[in-house]
Amino acid sequence: MKYVGKPIQRIDAYEKVTGFAEYAGDLELPGMLYAKLLLSPYAHARIRSIDISNALKIQGVVTIATGEDFPFRVGLYVNDRYILARKKVRWIGEPVAAVVAEDLETAEEAVELIRVEYDPLPPVLDVRDALKHDAPLVHEELGEYAHSPAFNPIPGTNIANRFVVKKGNIEDGFRKSDVIVENEFFMPQVSHVPMEPHVCIGQYLKDGSIKLWTSAQSPFAIRYILGYSLGIPLHKISVYVPYVGGGFGGKAGINFEPLVALLSKKAGYRPVKLELTREEQFMTAPVRQGFYGKIKTGVTRDGRIMAKKIFYAFDAGAYADYGVNIGRAAGYSCTGPYYVPNLEGESLTVYTNHPWGTAFRGFGHFEFLWAIERQMEIVAAEIGMDPVEFRLKNALLPGLTTATGEKLREDAGRVDQCIRAVAEKIGWGTPPVKISSSKVRAKGIAALWKAPAMPPNAASAAIIKLNEDGTILLSVGVTEIGQGTVTALAQIVAEELSVPVEKIKVVPFRHTDLTPYSWQTVASRNLFMEGRAVIRAARDAKEQILDIASQVLRTPKDDLVIEDEKVYVKGRPEWSIYLKDLAAGYVYPDGNTIGGPIIGRGYYVGSRLTYLDPETGQGYPALKWTFGAQAVEIELDEETGEVKILKIVSAFDVGKAVNPLLVEGQIIGGGVQSLSLGMWEEYRYDENGKMLNPNLTDYKIARAGDIPEEYEIVVIENPQKDGPYGARGVAELAMLSVPPAVANAIFHATGININNLPLTFENIWRALNKGE
């Protein structure tokens, strides 16, 4: 192939690195006003009264809104979230009121003058406590909330969704087991830490229309939820998304867009801008959910997994509008990339009085793979088997069935090849090495898998326009949040239409009035789904080109070739016509014209996907599965607990690397992000639920010096027949299993198992010195 499979530089690089890229924060509209939020100081409390009188006296204040002004709930999967807190607050940082003023400084001054009286309620701050029968209810009205049919909230409890999966006979499986091992695992809430905080501008027009300019991953989801919640026809809602400075799931679904739209209406239909500070981003924007897991595994002495009983509880925080899908995704993928003949799994999404959780890159999988890959290591040690051999013996291979009863297709990819690849590259088999009295070097391995977590009807579309000079315009709904998908899609167009990539422009913004539909930019689905849509759009355009060219060249379409920006007769390249001469229809010398503008249209919807049985979890949720494995070599100081990551090896079965350079960048970036999440990142709260580290001084993330000096990548290509040129998604996979690999290396170095994240030096030191 000429373009697909080639390491082409990102087509959006120039605008971004030179600062010419336009972001939502750069936008200034005529007559624009500025909003500031008053945040709750309580994790759980009734709102007795709100006094805005003194704030309204400040010159320059246009209006102030409270929850009573907007009695609407929003939510992607569960319609549970008020636009501003109404009747009660559910976390420290929940917006209680919003000031709209002529400038930001005035809005900030006025916020300080709002007085709110609260009646504190007992908060629930641990997901396990939230499940107790006498736990305070975060949502007493849970039974009233509209929700997708894929989810199962339990009214009268804090369970926003319960997902159950059953396969085989678990009692029989445990009876046939020689060894049974049970462990618990924990992971805290964390921040997405995008470089660009949440920014949105809204304008409500007098004719009932709404215009939004926002830093968002999912413009069509915003439009749909806003229309559903406010009862507004979708053609009256326009959502514009320029470049987005990172999302990682935190800008999926719907966030502050309804607020700015309704504030605009209250402020006399002027546009209103809300831009979070970094501290507000930590306290009031959505976070990654916390996680608690408990796994019971039964195995034979020769290393065959016979049964697993799995329990996952996700800390959704105050609202679960998107978060219910996280527990569901973890539920149907709960075994990791291993064959388990007998299984009972329960995955709960649970309300607490923490900040509200949403999607985070690889949602649900990063969390449960921490538990699964630690458990695999512990079980292997218990039966005295090499952990690589143990993983390979139980690897989920084509022909075997997943937890939901899906028979893995022959072209699904090979986790065993990924495990063997990282084992070879890390030099597996050598014992830990003491390099000083306190320092030891050791290695660890972990495997992974993931499928896009999406409804069966999730769709993508693409439009291709041939310009009069032969260049091409591609419009797609996938939002470019840094992942590079648009470059890969341009390569697909180039391959299909034989036009150089540099002559293809992917429209850099998304506008729901102009852009073809795409469900959401999440779940590593976009190269696969948009890629299929783009291929169909290109072939639709190609048919139109050949229809006109066959008349001009007086040759059947079957005898024509499109290559090097022209159409010619097979074997007679001199009988040709340039694409540019067909773009708007072909014009004969006398002015007569045939054909018309070339506009290709394509779409893709996954076939034969289903909702899952509510009693057993059986069904077909997966468009595709991507497999991988990661290995690390560490240097551990046993006196201080300090760990240095010397090397990471990552292997992924990507099906086909449409752009190897992008794949490499995703794998390295994802690996470093995974390392950061596993070793430093966590929200810390006091006993009242107050966040103690809402800034980048106290909330630690990886820095340049933490990046391993050696990073080796293995790209395995077992093409999936229905993927675009055989490709599968890989972006999220790159950050799923570095933490368990590090913890497994610590175990091999010391014999100590650490099952709680993060693996901070202090936490490692405490584990090494427990009881002393």
**Fold (topology level) of 13-17+455-605:** Aldehyde Oxidoreductase; domain 4 (3.30.365)
Residue 770 pLDDT class (50, 70, 90 cuts): confident
**pLDDT, tens digit, 9 for 90 and up, residues 260-286:** 999 999 999 999 999 999 999 999 999
Overall average pLDDT of the 550-567 stretch: 96
Residue 61: what are its φ and ψ, rounded to 5°?
A: -80, 125
pLDDT at 22: 94
26-123+192-283: which CATH number, 3.90.1170.50, 3.40.50.920, 3.40.50.2300, 3.50.50.60? 3.90.1170.50
Q: What gap in Å lies between CA 232 and CA 237, rounded to an integer? A: 8
Write the DSSP string, 52-101: -HHHHTSTTEEEEEEGGG---EE-SSB--EESS-BSEE-STT-EEEEEEE
* Tokens linked to 475: 């419009």
Strand, coil or helix: what is 552? helix
Taking the domains of the chain in order of start, what are their residue ranges? 13-17+455-605, 26-123+192-283, 287-454+610-769
Q: What gap in Å lies between CA 62 and CA 272, rounded to an integer? A: 11
Domain 287-454+610-769 has CATH 3.20.20.70: no
pLDDT at 318: 98
Closest CA to 568 of 553, 585, 588: 553
Cα distances (Å, whole numbers) of residue 154 to 89, 140, 147, 291: 21, 11, 12, 19
* β-pairing verdict for 210-214 and 88-89: unpaired
pLDDT at 771: 67
Q: What gap in Å lies between CA 401 and CA 619, rounded to an integer? A: 11
The single-letter DSSP state of residue 150 is T
In the predicted structure, residue 94 carries a pLDDT above the cut 90: yes
Q: What gap in Å lies between CA 565 and CA 93, rounded to an integer? A: 56
Examine the residue annotation and report whether 530 is marked as an active-site residue of this protein. Answer: no
Do the two domains 13-17+455-605 and 26-123+192-283 of this chain adopt the same fold?
Answer: no
Q: What gap in Å lies between CA 403 and CA 167, rounded to an integer? A: 7
Residues 342 and 172: beta-carbon distance below 8 Å: yes
Q: What is the mean pLDDT of the chain?
A: 96
* Tokens linked to 232: 């507004």
In the predicted structure, residue 319 carries a pLDDT above the cut 70: yes
Q: Which of 196, 280, 732, 762 is catalytic?
A: 732
In the predicted structure, residue 772 carries a pLDDT above the cut 80: no
**pLDDT, tens digit, 9 for 90 and up, residues 121-166:** 999 999 999 999 999 999 999 999 999 999 999 999 999 999 999 9
Cis before 758 (ω within 30) = yes
pLDDT at 607: 86
